[in-house]
Amino acid sequence: MSAPLAVVATLSAVTMGVLSASPESSGSDLLAASSSSTDTSQSLANATALSRRGETTVSRSQIRTAAKAESAARQDIEVDQQARRLAKRLDDTMWTTEALNLWDGPSEKSEKLGVIDALRQVAVTGREQAGRTQVVIDGQSRWVTSDYLAQAKPKPEPEGPSLGGSCGNGSSIDAGRASLYDIHDVVCANWPEITSYGTWRGDGEHGQGRAIDIMTSGETGWAVANFLRANYSALGIEYIIYAQNIWSVERAGEGWRGMSDRGSATANHYDHVHVTVY
């Protein structure tokens, strides 16, 4: 066996041993596989296939690529092992209060690796950074938004507003999307005290006929905003803004996100709930 092929074979054997030592994920839809592990397996598989067919000699570049990928895979495994040790030492768990995005680290540049459902119990390591908490899921280190973890299991939401019903306060709208009429009707049916709505306007999504402003404030505004968020799929909602916070389908796992100050109560959406539909 030539020297390059011998090195690749050695790398393959070592890498396979390392990767087999890492815990398997119990849900492919929950966690994405480690990119470094995937790169390692692919590089070595390609090298092995070429050597078996005898079609070409494995290049030094391929060997270096395989070695780097193996090193990255080892680092991922070490991070997971350290997280498991910390979680075992702390012996504490928390509950997810929302469906949360899973990140490979605490920074804004971290890679999203999946989503975990609400009302899931997770082991924590005690590490918090940049508003995120390190947790251990299926033996792997992940980071989630700290604000959506609780020590006690959240209680089921009490019965409240529901889809359906009819508007009986005499309010009406003129809109460019059928879903906006549905939103008006359901808000009116559950909060008949709200009688003012804004649709057409000469700018942005209002000008496209796919946005509505529900004129309300305070706790009622939050009740409306959270109800619409909970029923976004049935109502065709893309995103909601209220009280200088935004929630969007695209980043649903992050919950309500703060927005920069736009200078006034109206511009910051403190006196109305803004809803944009698809």
Residues whose CB falls within 8 Å of the CB of residue 122, separated by 6 or more in sequence, listed in order: 93, 94, 95, 96, 116, 135, 136, 137, 144, 149
Here the tokens at position 183 are 């939103």
CATH top class, domain 3-150: mainly beta
Which residue is listed with tokens 């700018």? Answer: 203
Q: What is the pLDDT along the chain (278 residues), one digit of tens a residue?
A: 444 444 444 444 444 444 444 444 443 344 444 444 455 556 556 655 555 555 556 788 888 888 888 888 898 899 999 999 999 999 999 999 999 999 999 999 999 999 999 999 999 999 999 999 999 999 999 999 999 999 999 887 666 789 988 899 999 999 999 999 999 999 999 999 999 999 999 889 999 999 999 999 999 999 999 999 999 999 999 999 999 999 999 999 999 999 999 999 999 999 999 999 99
List the structure tokens of 66: 């395989």
- Two tokens at 219? 């706790």
Q: Report how far residue 138's alpha carbon sits from residue 277's, in angstroms, rounded to the nearest whole number.
A: 37
Which among 190, 175, 271, 178 has a CA at the least distance from the CA of 224?
190
Indicate the domain borders of the chain: 3-150, 178-277
DSSP conformation class of 147: G
Model confidence, pTM: 0.47
